[in-house]
Amino acid sequence: MYVFVLDQARNVQLVQSSGESIHQLTNWDALLGGVFDVTIAAQNMLSAAEHSGLGGVYLGSILNDPQRMIDLLHLPRYTFPLLGMKIGVPAEDPEVKPRLPHKLVVGTDTYPPVDKTALADYDATVRNYYASRSWNQRDVSYTESMVAHLTASLHHRDEIGRILAAQGFELPQD
């Protein structure tokens, strides 16, 4: 398993040793830049693995207990574990899950409106996909699945902001 870590630790050491402020390395802009860098690195790693005939899966579940990951990996201040990934030889060749229609995710010069007809069609497509796939069949639409996921108790993730602050990131709440 690989863990992708937002890392400003080395940069903070360099800037601190010069006597300059580390604010630009610990603010929201730096945090988001680190998230982008980690995401690009992870996607490139998965693309390279797939190009080599391997498969992979992202593991957002490491955010279920980021402090444990920090402790387990002995991560210094100014770092934060963002996501994990497993890479290996696929044990199966699952059906490709249908993606949201273009008109629901792409807008031109504006946020795309929710097209209820397109969403209803996609709900039916996803329900059919789940019902007819070769493993883990179930009877659920996209909307039902998303509502269940988005309203599930993720209270354990409420601590992420506190943990980021403890790791040295300056994230004002105002």
Q: For the chain, which ranges sit under pLDDT 70?
A: 173-174
Give the pLDDT score at 33.
95
The pLDDT score that the predictor gives to residue 99 is 95
Distance in angstroms (rounded) separating the CA atoms of residues 99 and 79: 33
Residues 6+ apart with CB under 8 A from 100: 122, 142
Q: Which pLDDT score, from 0 to 100, does residue 173 have?
A: 67
Closest CA to 35 of 82, 84, 85: 82
What's the predicted TM-score (pTM) here? 0.83
For domain 2-94+156-166, the question of CATH label 3.40.50.1000 is answered with: no
Burial 106-119 (b: 16+ CB within 10 A, else e): eeeeeeeeeeeebb
Strand duo 2-7 + 55-59: pairing: unpaired
Strand, helix or coil for residue 34: helix
Rounded Cα distance between 54 and 127, Å, is 29
Please count the residues of the chain: 174
Predicted confidence at residue 35, as pLDDT, reads: 96
DSSP 74-127: TPPTTEEEEEEEEEE--S--PPPPPPPPHHHH--SSSPPP--HHHHHHHHHHHH
Cβ neighbours of residue 10 closer than 8 Å, sequence gap 6 or more = none
Q: For residue 69, what are the β-bridge partners?
A: none
pLDDT of residue 152: 80
The pLDDT of residue 123 is 95
